[in-house]
Structures are given as C-alpha cells and as structure tokens.
C-alpha cells in the first residue's frame, strides 16, 4: 500500500468515525474470545470490533484499551500478547465505555519448540505463492524446482527441498546462502521475483529452520484441524474504512496459535473489499465481499458489506408472507436495500405458470385469474399449478439432466427409456427426494429390471462416479482434489479418495439380454491414494468414517448422503429449486458449492434446507413456500436502493425461457404440435426422454445434451443464431401459418381489435395498451390483406423480448 493511499485511508477513517458518531455503540467484540499461549514462540494479536446501532462495524483495535491482569504472565506489545510465565489470567478490552474480559492461558512459556517443516515452512510456500500452478506447483515444477500444488504432499516437498540438488537449496553451513532464501529474496535471479525480503518474518522462519538443520518432522506432529478468521463479519461504512483480519489455527493436540502472518488472504470481490497479505482490508465501492484466509488445507471466509459513506436509509416495513421474506428482509436491512414492489397479476400469472408448469397461460386462464377477486388468488394459483402434471414433467426434465439420461454406447434406447420412466414414476408419485436419491445411489440389479442402475452405466469410472454424486447431490465440484488439495475449498486428496472408496465395489456383469447389464455389490475393490498408494477407507465427504465391513458401501453412502446427517443434501436441493424460480441460486452456480463461493443469504438457505427436511423432502412443499413468498412476486422494476443489486433477490430477474419451454410456448400459442422421436405427435419438448434427441431449435436455444452433470449444460445465453432463428427460421413463421389461428378468427368474423387482444394475451399474457392498440389498428387498417397484417403482428409479438423472457 502506498503511503498516499494509507494517508487517504486514515483520513477516511477519521471522517467515518465522526460520521458514525450519530449511531450509538451497541457492543464491542474482541477476537479471539479466549487467549491461549502455548510456547515461547506463541503470539496472539487482539482485534476489537465496535458494532453500532445502525448495523455498521468499525475496527477500533487501535483506540481500545487492552490490559493484562497479571503482567507477569503475559507481556503486551502493542496489540500483541507474548508469554512470559505459565499460568492463567485475563485480558481486558475497553472501548466507548464497554469492557470485555478475555480468559488467557499460558503454558510452556519457557519452551521454544523446533520449527516444523509441515507446520511452519509449508505455509510459507502458500503465503509466498511458491506452490501455485503457475509457479513451482505446476505438474513439472518451474525452472527445475517442483513443489506439490498448494502443498498436498509435504513429505514429497521436504524430500525435494532438502534432498534434490544436494547442498544448494538448503545450505546447512551457510543458511543464508541456501537457494530457498537467495531465490526468494531475488538475491540471485529468480523468475518469480522477490517473494519476501531479508528480515521479513517468512525469511526469518525459513532461515531459522535451515540453521537448525532443516530437520524432518517427527511422526507425531500435530495436525491443523481447523482455522478461524476474525472478525466473523463486518459492515464497513464507506470507501477507505479498514478492518484488520486475524487467523487462528487449531491443532489436534488442543493448542492453537495466531497464524495471521502465515495465512494467505484473498477477497471474492476486490471491487468492494481489498485485502493486503498482512490482513488489512480496505473498503472500496458499495457491495459485498467474502474475505478468505487459507492456511494448511483450510479455507475459511468472513462476510463483509461495504455501504456508501453516511448513507441515509430508512427501512420501510413490508409484509412478509413467510420465512423466505423474513430472512431476505433481514439481509436487505443490512444492505440498505428496499425490495421492489409486487408485480401485476398478469405478470404473476405468466411468471408462475411458466416457472411451475413450463407453459404459458391460456386466454381462459388469463380471464379467470384476472376476474378472480379473492385476495388469496395468487396462492390458489400456485396450488393449482403445483397439482398439474406439467409440474411433474418439468421436474422430470430437470432431474433427467442431473442424472444425464441419454442413450450411449453403454445404455440402449430401452434402458434409457426405462430409466426415464423410473424417474417419472418417482417424481409423479411425489416420492420424497431423499428416498428417491437413496434408491438411485444404492441401486442393484439389471438395468432393465431396476432401471435406476443405469446411473452406474452412464459413468463407469469409479472416480468420476464419485465426482458426479458430489456435484449433483451435494453441489460440490471435488474434481480438483483428485490431483491436489482443493485450493479454494476444504477438500483434500484424502477426502476425495475416501469418498470415491464408496464406489469402488460396483460390480457389473452381462445379463441375459445383450442390452442389459446387472449392477451389483461386488464386495471387493479399493481406492488407493496416489501419494503413497494407501488404501482409503470410505469416509463421508465432510463427515465420519462409517463401518462398511461386509456391507454394501453404496447403501451406506446413500443412506448418509440423502439424510439430515449430510449438511449439504437438503441445502443443495433447496438451492436447485430456488435457482429455478429466481434464475440464480442462493449459491450460484448451484453445483459450485465451496467455501470461497458462499451463499448470498446463508440464513435463507439454511432455513429452506431445514424446511425441506421438515417437509420430509417433499419438494412440492418447498416450491410452494418459494412461490408464495413475497420475494417471488416482486416486480422486475427497481428502485434506487436496489437498482444495482443483482444477487440478493430484491427484485425479479429477467430470465430467458429455456429451450424446451420456449418451443413448447410457441407451439402452444400458435396452436400447433411437434413430433419428437419416440413420443406421440403433439408431445411437448419438455417430455423428451432421451438427452440425445434434439432439434435445430432446441440445440440453438441451448438444450442440455445431458453429457455431463454440470448445471452449465443448459445454455441460457442469448446469441445471434437464436435471434436469426426466431426472426426468419422455420419455427415461428411456419408455426403461425400451420396453426391457422388468424384465418380461423377472421373466418369467425371476430373483430380485429379482439383478435389483437387475443394475440397479446396468448403471447404476453396481457391486453394491449391503448397506445399499442391504436398504433396497430392504424397499421392494419392501411393494409389490404388483413390476414397478412395480423400474422405479421403475431410474428412481431413472438419476436418481442417481452415474450422471450420470463419477467
């Protein structure tokens, strides 16, 4: 940070402190809440955060008074505590008339432990960016020196640092001449430049370790079990406000230490919050950011909100239909956002019908809904739509995408169709989602006899099956951890291979019909860790190691995965459902759940997950909660507080209709029909069973091919081919002609304004405005061929953005 910038930041701090004097101090929080100093090296920094009545927070560490009760035990150096003698005492923190007392423990204050390669030196590689993929972490290393990517293999790294190119990387005689130090400080040419300077804490640590003989770690060295990042959250008042971040690591031997100087920091939104590697965050533009610290294999984040300085905001009390609104409003209050108004009945009718059933409302439905004076009519509509078979079909399609139902070399058309029918039965019969998923993942038998087993025919590679299960049912992409510990998530290679071990005993054998394969529990087979070739015991992802002896491993995994014991299952499914109705998930993408991609409203996601579990995984009920919430009924229009918000669901999002729904809508509106292979004439695109079936229209508009489980398979991005196909492709134009709607109405001698009104309702679910009607009548009256003129209008409506988007 440049001096000028620091000056400005300082200035901003002063200004902000005066600005906030209006709000009352409600509490102070000191981090950490208890102090433990476990050896002579151990230090602990104290961070003090003030919370004000308006929700703003401020780093007041510098202004607070910190005092140690028994100064014989702990020495205070600025805001850092250092041990002097063993014992227990307290540390008091005082600010703005409020005082906190923190218990403190000092142990082994006279012991200076040896530096550990794993615990002290490995973090340096991460902190100094040595072991990233673009540097020495690359598969073949860089400039002749290789480190394991993000430090997944500390044994190998020790070997390479100390044993390769003897005496050069490590010079025990003259530690300061070790390449590890001369390269890092760029004393000798280093492609990676200066990573730290002589005298820096990282330099000193490395030097000390080499000086002590660059010893290998003892076998019983403790492991880091978790890290905590302080403060837990912050609401910063305007550009320039700062907040110091500290990180504390907890070890398997019960100790903990301040590792702020060894942790690597990153911010999810550098436009709002900037973080320096010394842990200082600085607020920039209005917005939210997730500030993360990475240490050892752990990544933990903390939530930051940056508000415009001195924002004048008054929360307007709004009705709350259910818990969804309550939790969203809480977040809005923090963000100083007032959600949009409710949308019109017409908009709601169209939105809900499209979202819930994948159809557009008919003229009759439009008239009936608008004529209904019941104040609960929106809820009634949701219930009505949820009862229709189209709702089931839509979700069968979405599940078919997740389960990649398609014909392949392994899956015959018949197998595929039986698999699809199995899914259809489950969803149509409202089988609880957990039961369905358990049936699927634990399935055994022939691919005809028990079609769920096709899941294991779609993907036959053990590791990929494990990856798919994690991605679909837990929303996690654990692929990275196949080769190295996940850099932005908690998953290590151990987690990856232990989870994959659940799928290591899938037996497959030929059935009597050559198209059928019998999937069974073979009872034998293991997964080995590529580093060291260890046999991995099956372990739930983020969970315990169950007893699998003599049991079907998949059955045990399925029972855990689709249950309350798995914290990710209900959250993930709720998020998938949410994303369908709001265009994006609370975690977005829905299958990219990771520490570094936190939910925008964790409380809401937790609540949805809890409800989903409470509803016994009946997802119709969760859909009902979502669709009857006020949030779902908001207008797409914005106010000045939420116009820039695109992630917090403070207004409805414009969403292009997905390929199948758009084709079905055009077909329905033009009163035509489609013929897809394997389906009777008139079937809807949503009902297509085989992922391999497609048409030019569907492909152009991004129908999922179901080749992978990735949520990204459904393409929602607009492109030129789509526009051109709508304009002059053979879908819209020929369907208008085929449907003969206009000639029929003209033949029935329906007056033109009424025809226009019908067209508007059919296409846009609203009547034309006075102005639109006048303009159109003027154009049509000049036209000799009324049919042509009306068909042109029809065409124009189907090409309008109002039609193409769900709004």
Partner 1 sequence: MLPVLFRFTSKLNFLNTSHNRYFKRMELCEKMFRSSPTPISLASRAHSKSWMLLAATLCGLILATCVQAASPTLSLILPRGVQRGVENTISFRGARLADAEEIFFYSPGFEVTNLEPSASAAVVTVNIAADCRMGEHVAQVRTRSGITEFRTFWVGPFAATAEVEPNNSFEEPQKIALNTTVQGIVTNEDIDYYAFEVKAGQRISAEVEAMRLGTTLFDPYIAIIDAKRFELSADDDTPLAKQDAIASTIAKEDGTYYVMIRESSYAGNGNCRYNLHIGTFPRPLAVYPAGGKVGEATEVKFLGDPAGTTTQTVQLPTTVEPQFALFPQDEHGIAPSGNPFRLFEHGNSLETEPNNTIAEACAAELPNAFNGIIGEEKDIDYFRFTAKKGQVFDIECFARRIRSPLDPVMNLYNATGGSLVGNDDSRGPDSYFRYTFPADGEYVLRVTDHLGRGGETFVYRVEFRPVTPSLALGIPRVARYSQSRQQIFVPRGNRYATIISASRSNFGGELQLQSEGLPTGVTMHVENMPANMSVMPVVFEAAADAPLAGALIKLSAKHTAENSNISGHFKNRADLVISAPGQSLYVFKDVEQLPIAVVEEVPFTLEIVQPKVPLVRTGVMSLKVIAHRKEGYTKAITLQFPFRPPGVGTRSTVVIPEGKTEAFYPLNASGSAQIRTWPIYVLGSADIGGTGWVSSQLATLEVAEPFVTFSMERASVEQGLETQIFCKLNHATPFDGTATVQILGLPANVTTTNMEFNKDTKELVFNIKTDKTSPAGKHTNVFAQITITKDGEPMTSRAATTQLQIDKPLPPPKNAPPKPKPMPMAVAVAPKPAPKPMAKPLSRLEKLRLAAQQRTNPETDGGEE
- Joined tokens for residue 657: 């209709």
Q: Closest CB to partner 1 among 146 and 554?
A: 554
Q: Are 305 and 334 in contact (CB under 8 A)?
A: yes
H or E segment to which residue 500 belongs: helix 493-500
Q: How far apart are CA 524 and CA 504, in angstroms?
A: 8
Residue 384 CB, nearest distance to partner 1 (Å)?
A: 24
**Site mask, partner 1, residues 280-319, x = CB under 8 A?**
----------------------------------------
Interface stretch with partner 1, choices 102-110, 392-400, 440-448, 693-701 (CB under 8 A):
440-448
Provide the b/e sequence for 450-473 (b: ≥16 CB within 10 Å).
bbbbbbbbbbeebbbbbbbbbbbb
Q: What are phi and psi of 291, to 5 degrees?
A: -100, 125
Q: Closest CB to partner 1 among 441 and 626?
A: 441
β partners of residue 133: none
Assess 444 for contact with partner 1 (CB under 8 A). yes
Q: Which residues contact 446 (CB under 8 A, 6 or more apart)?
A: 453, 511, 516, 517, 518, 519
Q: Which residues contact 640 (CB under 8 A, 6 or more apart)?
A: none
β partners of residue 35: 104
Q: Are 527 and 462 in contact (CB under 8 A)?
A: yes
Residue 444 CB, nearest distance to partner 1 (Å)?
A: 6
Q: Are 745 and 782 in contact (CB under 8 A)?
A: no
Chosen residue from 207, 226, 414, 647 binding partner 1 by CB under 8 A: 414
Assess 795 for contact with partner 1 (CB under 8 A). no
If you count DSSP H runs as helices and E runs as strands, how many of each does the chain have, helices first?
28, 25
Q: Does residue 555 have a cis bond before it (omega within 30 degrees)?
A: no
Q: Does residue 114 have a cis bond before it (omega within 30 degrees)?
A: no
Q: How far apart are CA 606 and CA 628, in angstroms?
A: 18
Assess 412 for contact with partner 1 (CB under 8 A). yes
Interface stretch with partner 1, choices 238-246, 251-259, 303-311, 678-686 (CB under 8 A):
678-686
Assess 422 for contact with partner 1 (CB under 8 A). no
Q: Are 389 and 357 in contact (CB under 8 A)?
A: no
Residue 316 CB, nearest distance to partner 1 (Å)?
A: 55
**Site mask, partner 1, residues 36-75, x = CB under 8 A?**
----------------------------------------
β partners of residue 520: 507
Q: Closest CB to partner 1 among 417 and 746?
A: 417
Footprint on residues 370-409 left by partner 1 (CB under 8 A): 409
Q: Are 601 and 331 in contact (CB under 8 A)?
A: yes
Q: Are 701 and 694 in contact (CB under 8 A)?
A: no
Residue 683 CB, nearest distance to partner 1 (Å)?
A: 10
Assess 222 for contact with partner 1 (CB under 8 A). no
Residue with tokens 């009760």: 69
Q: What are phi and psi of 42, to 5 degrees?
A: -65, 135
Q: Closest CB to partner 1 among 569 and 676?
A: 676
Residue 508 CB, nearest distance to partner 1 (Å)?
A: 12
DSSP string, 770-784: HHHHHHHHHHHHH-S
Assess 678 for contact with partner 1 (CB under 8 A). yes
Q: Which residues contact 324 (CB under 8 A, 6 or more apart)?
A: 604, 607, 608, 625, 626, 629, 630, 631, 632
Q: How far apart are CA 605 and CA 607, in angstroms?
A: 5
H or E segment to which residue 6 belongs: helix 3-19
Q: Closest CB to partner 1 among 448 and 473?
A: 448
Residue 386 CB, nearest distance to partner 1 (Å)?
A: 24
Chosen residue from 445, 525, 542, 718 binding partner 1 by CB under 8 A: 445
Q: Closest CB to partner 1 among 511 and 526?
A: 511
Footprint on residues 492-521 left by partner 1 (CB under 8 A): 509-515, 518, 520
Residue 678 CB, nearest distance to partner 1 (Å)?
A: 5
Interface stretch with partner 1, choices 39-47, 100-108, 179-187, 443-451 (CB under 8 A):
443-451
- Say whether 605 sits in a helix, a strand or coil: helix
Residue 514 CB, nearest distance to partner 1 (Å)?
A: 3
Residue 555 CB, nearest distance to partner 1 (Å)?
A: 12
Assess 166 for contact with partner 1 (CB under 8 A). no
Q: Are 720 and 758 in contact (CB under 8 A)?
A: no
Residue 680 CB, nearest distance to partner 1 (Å)?
A: 6
Footprint on residues 8-37 left by partner 1 (CB under 8 A): none
Footprint on residues 585-644 left by partner 1 (CB under 8 A): none
Interface stretch with partner 1, choices 75-83, 358-366, 631-639, 677-685 (CB under 8 A):
677-685
Residue with tokens 């530096």: 115
Kind of pairing between the strands at 98-106 and 35-37: parallel
Q: Closest CB to partner 1 among 90 and 408?
A: 408
Residue 456 CB, nearest distance to partner 1 (Å)?
A: 14
Residue 417 CB, nearest distance to partner 1 (Å)?
A: 4
Chosen residue from 680, 717, 720, 748 binding partner 1 by CB under 8 A: 680
Residue 563 CB, nearest distance to partner 1 (Å)?
A: 24
Q: Are 657 and 345 in contact (CB under 8 A)?
A: no
Residue 452 CB, nearest distance to partner 1 (Å)?
A: 13
Q: CA of 796: how far to CAs of 16, 738, 790, in Å?
A: 54, 17, 10
Assess 454 for contact with partner 1 (CB under 8 A). no
Q: Closest CB to partner 1 among 443 and 642?
A: 443
Q: How far apart are CA 779 and CA 772, in angstroms?
A: 11
Residue 644 CB, nearest distance to partner 1 (Å)?
A: 51
Q: Are 59 and 84 in contact (CB under 8 A)?
A: no
> Residue 218 burial by CB count (10 A; 0-12/13-18/19+): exposed, middle or buried?
exposed
- Joined tokens for residue 81: 């505590």
Helix residue ranges, H only, 20-92 = none
Q: Closest CB to partner 1 among 155 and 556?
A: 556
Q: Closest CB to partner 1 among 342 and 511?
A: 511
Q: Are 421 and 428 in contact (CB under 8 A)?
A: no
Q: Closest CB to partner 1 among 502 and 676?
A: 676
Q: How far apart are CA 190 and CA 219, in angstroms?
A: 34
β partners of residue 509: 518
Q: How far apart are CA 585 and CA 592, in angstroms?
A: 10
Residue 526 CB, nearest distance to partner 1 (Å)?
A: 21
Chosen residue from 138, 417, 610, 653 binding partner 1 by CB under 8 A: 417
Residue 510 CB, nearest distance to partner 1 (Å)?
A: 8
Site residue total, partner 1 (CB under 8 A): 20
Residue 113 CB, nearest distance to partner 1 (Å)?
A: 55
Q: Closest CB to partner 1 among 448 and 701?
A: 448
Assess 428 for contact with partner 1 (CB under 8 A). no
Assess 413 for contact with partner 1 (CB under 8 A). yes
Contact residues toward partner 1 (CB under 8 A) are: 409, 412-414, 417, 444-445, 448, 509-515, 518, 520, 678-680
């Amino acid at each position: 940070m440049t001096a000028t910038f620091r000056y400005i930041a300082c200035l901003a701090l002063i200004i902000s402190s005066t600005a906030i004097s209006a709000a009352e101090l409600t509490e102070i929080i000191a981090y950490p809440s208890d102090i433990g100093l476990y050896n002579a090296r151990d230090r602990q920094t104290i961070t003090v955060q003030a919370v004000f009545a308006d929700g703003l927070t401020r780093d007041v560490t510098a202004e607070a008074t910190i005092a140690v009760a028994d100064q014989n035990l702990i020495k205070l150096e600025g805001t850092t505590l250092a041990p002097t003698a063993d014992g227990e005492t307290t540390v008091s923190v005082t600010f703005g008339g409020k005082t906190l007392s923190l218990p403190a423990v000092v142990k082994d204050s006279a012991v200076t432990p040896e530096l550990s390669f794993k615990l002290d030196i490995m973090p340096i590689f991460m902190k100094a960016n040595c072991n990233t993929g673009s540097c020495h972490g690359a598969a073949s290393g860089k400039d002749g020196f290789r480190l394991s990517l993000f430090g997944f293999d500390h044994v190998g790294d020790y070997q390479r640092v100390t044993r390769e190119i003897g005496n050069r990387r490590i010079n025990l005689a003259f530690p300061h001449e070790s390449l590890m130090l001369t390269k890092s400080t760029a004393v000798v040419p280093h492609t990676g430049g200066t990573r730290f300077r002589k005298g820096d804490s990282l330099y000193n640590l490395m030097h000390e370790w080499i000086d002590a003989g660059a010893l290998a770690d003892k076998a019983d060295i403790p492991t880091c079990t978790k890290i905590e990042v302080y403060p837990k959250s912050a609401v910063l008042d305007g550009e320039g406000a700062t907040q110091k971040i500290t990180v504390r690591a907890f070890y398997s031997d019960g100790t903990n230490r301040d590792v702020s100087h060894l942790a690597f920091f990153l911010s999810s939104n550098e436009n709002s919050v900037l973080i320096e590697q010394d842990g200082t965050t600085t607020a920039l533009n209005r917005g939210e950011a997730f500030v993360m610290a990475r240490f050892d294999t752990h990544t933990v984040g903390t939530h930051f909100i940056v508000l415009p300085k001195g924002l004048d905001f008054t929360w307007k009390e709004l009705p709350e239909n259910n818990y969804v609104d309550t939790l969203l409003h809480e977040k809005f209050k923090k963000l100083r956002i007032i959600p949009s108004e409710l949308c019109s009945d017409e908009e709601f009718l169209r939105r809900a019908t499209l979202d819930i059933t994948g159809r557009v409302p008919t003229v009759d439905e439009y008239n009936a809904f608008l004529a209904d004076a019941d104040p609960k009519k929106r809820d009634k509509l949701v219930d009505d739509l949820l009862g229709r078979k189209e709702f089931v079909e839509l979700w069968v399609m979405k599940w078919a995408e997740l389960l990649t139902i398609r014909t392949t070399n392994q899956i015959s058309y018949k197998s595929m169709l039986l698999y699809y029918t199995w899914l259809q039965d489950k969803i149509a019969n409202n089988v609880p989602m957990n039961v369905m998923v358990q049936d699927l993942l634990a399935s055994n038998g022939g691919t005809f006899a028990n079609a769920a087993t096709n899941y294991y025919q779609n993907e036959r590679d053990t590791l990929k099956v494990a990856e798919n299960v994690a991605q679909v049912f837990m929303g996690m992409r654990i692929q990275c951890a196949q080769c190295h510990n996940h850099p932005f998530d908690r998953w290590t290679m151990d987690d990856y291979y232990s989870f994959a071990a659940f799928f290591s005993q899938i037996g497959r054998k030929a059935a009597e019909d050559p198209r059928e394969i019998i999937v069974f529990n073979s009872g034998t087979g293991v997964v080995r860790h590529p580093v060291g070739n260890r046999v991995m015991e099956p372990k739930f992802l983020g969970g315990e190691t169950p007893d699998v002896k003599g049991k079907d491993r998949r059955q045990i995994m399925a029972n855990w995965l689709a249950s309350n014991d798995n914290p990710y299952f209900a959250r993930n499914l709720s998020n998938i459902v949410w994303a369908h109705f709001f265009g994006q998930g609370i975690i977005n993408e829905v299958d990219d759940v990771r520490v570094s991609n936190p939910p925008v409203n964790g409380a809401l996601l937790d609540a949805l997950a809890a409800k989903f579990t409470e509803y016994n995984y009946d997802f119709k009920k969760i859909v009902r909660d979502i669709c009857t919430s006020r949030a779902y009924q908001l207008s797409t229009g914005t106010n000045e507080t939420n116009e820039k918000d695109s992630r917090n669901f403070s207004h409805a999002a414009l969403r292009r209709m997905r390929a199948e729904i758009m084709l079905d809508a055009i077909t329905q509106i033009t009163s035509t029909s489609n013929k897809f292979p394997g389906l009777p004439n008139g079937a809807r695109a949503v009902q297509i069973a085989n992922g391999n079936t497609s048409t030019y229209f569907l492909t152009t508009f991004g129908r999922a091919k179901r080749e992978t489980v990735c949520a990204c398979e459904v393409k929602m991005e607009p492109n030129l081919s789509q526009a051109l196909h709508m304009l002059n492709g053979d879908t819209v134009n020929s369907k208008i002609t085929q449907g003969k709607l206009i000639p029929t109405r003209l033949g029935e001698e329906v007056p033109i304004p009424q025809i226009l009104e019908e067209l508007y309702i059919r296409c846009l679910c609203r009547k034309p405005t006075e102005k639109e009607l006048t303009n159109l009548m003027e154009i049509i009256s000049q036209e000799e061929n009324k049919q042509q003129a009306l068909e042109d209008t029809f065409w124009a409506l189907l090409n309008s953005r109002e039609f193409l988007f769900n709004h």
